[in-house]
Structure 1
Amino acid sequence: MAHTTASLEMPASADRVWQLIGGFNSLPDWLPFIPHSELSEGGRMRHLKTADGHTIVERLEAFDEKGRSYSYSIVEAPFPARDYLATISVQGVADTDRSLVTWSGSFSPVGVSEDEIVRLFHGIYEEGLLTLAEGLQAHARNMAGN
């Protein structure tokens, strides 16, 4: 089983970041390459549409509001992987108004090397976190300008 983790410090408090990304249906709010998400099964499944038209179906496996984290598995996706389980978590950075967001996952490659599948998911996690940080910075600039 392969594994990768990406973490990035965010220019906002852990509570603010969790408010934005903590909902299982919130990906379209901060991740441009997922413009659509629809919940089913009482909020335990999300059906995502990617910017290029692919469908991804994910199941919520664990949710910890107080600990600011959730884990999900992939039920259906165009990725060459199986046994996928990922976690997104938000932690405060001591004595600052900043936070650390970590996105990690484990998975087994299907038809590709372990290195290839690690690079794929690590790239998705890193790009997603960079996009989140940029959005939070832009929001902070807009608030400072008002």
Structure 2
Amino acid sequence: MATASASLRLPVAADTVWQLVGGFLALPDWLPFIASSETAEGGRLRKLTTVDGAVIVERLETFDNQARMYSYSITEGPFPVTDYLATLKVEAAGDSETLVTWSGRFTPDGVSDAEAQALFQGVYEGGLEALKGNFPSA
């Protein structure tokens, strides 16, 4: 089992950040490489289409609005991993500062642990950098 994780501090209230990222279908609202997100199974599945046309299907595993976090698995996608489980968490780090953490664990399939880790480390870091761009004061 391999893991990857990235964190970002933002000078914005946690509730404001969660308002943007907390919806399971909200990825296109803040992540530029996701062109669309369609729902299935009453909102438990999201079918993501990237800007280059790749399709990723993810299942919502846990959702806690009060704790501002959710976890999801990938059921279909172009990634060389199995048993993927990721968590996006938004935590207050003071009155007007937020810590956002995006992390995952997975089993590499046909690639080394280091290659799979580098892939998702890049996804998480790039995603959080894109998130930062939604808050001009950051």
Corresponding residue number in structure 2 for 1:62: 62
Regions of 4+ moved over 6 Å: none
Residues 78-101 of structure 1 show CA distances to partners (whole Å, capped at 9, x for unaligned) of 00000000000000112x311000
Corresponding residue number in structure 2 for 1:83: 83
2: CA distance between counterparts of 1:78 and 1:124?
A: 13
Corresponding residue number in structure 1 for 2:109: 110
Structure 2 unmatched ranges of 5 or more? none
Deviation (angstroms), 1:119: 0.2
The answer to whether the Cα contact below 8 Å between 1:11 and 1:133 also exists between their aligned partners in 2 is no
Say yes or no: does 1:19 pair with 2:19: yes
Structure exhibiting the larger radius of gyration computed from Cα positions: 1
> CA-atom RMSD, angstroms?
1.0
More helix by share: 1
2: CA distance between counterparts of 1:25 and 1:124?
A: 17
Secondary structure in 2 matching 1:97: coil
1: CA distance between counterparts of 2:66 and 2:91?
A: 11
Deviation (angstroms), 1:12: 1.2
Say yes or no: does 1:97 pair with 2:96: yes
Corresponding residue number in structure 2 for 1:9: 9
Structure 1 unmatched ranges of 5 or more? 142-146
TM-score between both structures, scaled by the size of structure 1 = 0.92
| Identity value in percent | 57
